[in-house]
Each structure stands twice: as C-alpha cells, then as structure tokens.
Amino acid sequence: MKRAVELAKAKGAKRVVPLPVSAPFHSALMAPAATRLEAVLRAIPIRDLRVPLVTNVDADVLTDRTKVVDVLVRQVTSPVRWEEVTARLAKEGTDTFVEVGPGKVLSGLIRRIVPDARVLNVEDRASLEATLMALGRTSRP
C-alpha cells in the first residue's frame, strides 16, 4: 500500500486515502472469490426479481433471473458505479434513500448526486425508529 500511495502521488494525485477494508473488494484480486461464488450461485434456483434492482456494475435495471448470477459474480471484481447507480435510481423514480450501517458517508454522497432526495440513516435502534416514523411505519405490530 505504501508503494501504491507513493506511485499515485508521483503521478500527480493530490490526495491518497488508504481505506481500512478487510479484503480487496471490487478489484481483480477478488477473482478467486468470484469463481467460488459463481459455483454456489449456479446451484441455487433463482426467480425473476419482483423488485427491480439497479446493478452496481452496469447501473442498469435488472429483473431477469437469467442475468442475476452474472451480475452478482461481476460485482465482486468490478468497480462500483455509485454515482451512475444513484442517478439511475432517481431517474427511475426513487426519491427516498435509506443508508444502513454506521456513519452517513453514503447519505452525503447521495445528497450531492440527487440534491432533492430524502435521505435517511439507520445505524442503531433509535435511528431505526426515527426512519420508520419518517416512512410512516411503525416497528411494532
């Protein structure tokens, strides 16, 4: 990583931020995992998707079951097209986004891409309750 940082700066990078991740997700280094994943997925019956999925590898809308395995396998080694995916979701009519997990980094990115979007965040029980209320739902039956 240190060598990569040095090379990037030598090539003119203004800022290099190493990310604390547990594996080289979305890179060619994940090819062995993608191969194993494909074998597992091919053994599972998959139906057409009832809820359309905007894929992070193509920023396309997917419902066709025959394409699901390919997309899931490719996403292991392919870059995430976050800006295109978010814009596509907005184009398809999505006006509310919910970020699940610690922090609000993705929420900030969504607001920059789709400034008029409603963005909610769930990272603990209190924020889950607030999100459910904002969505007009209750967590209790």
Under DSSP, the state recorded for 63 is -
Task: Give mean pLDDT, residues 94-104.
Answer: 94
Cα distance between residue 84 and residue 57, in whole Å: 10
- What's the pLDDT band for 76 if we cut at 50, 70, 90? very high
Which is it for strands 61-62 and 53-54: parallel, antiparallel or unpaired? antiparallel
Whether the predicted pLDDT of 139 surpasses 70: no
Q: What is the pTM of this model?
A: 0.78
- What's the pLDDT band for 138 if we cut at 50, 70, 90? low
Cα distance between residue 97 and residue 120, in whole Å: 6
Cα distance between residue 138 and residue 141, in whole Å: 7
23-56 per-position pLDDT tens digit: 888 899 999 999 999 999 999 999 999 999 999 9
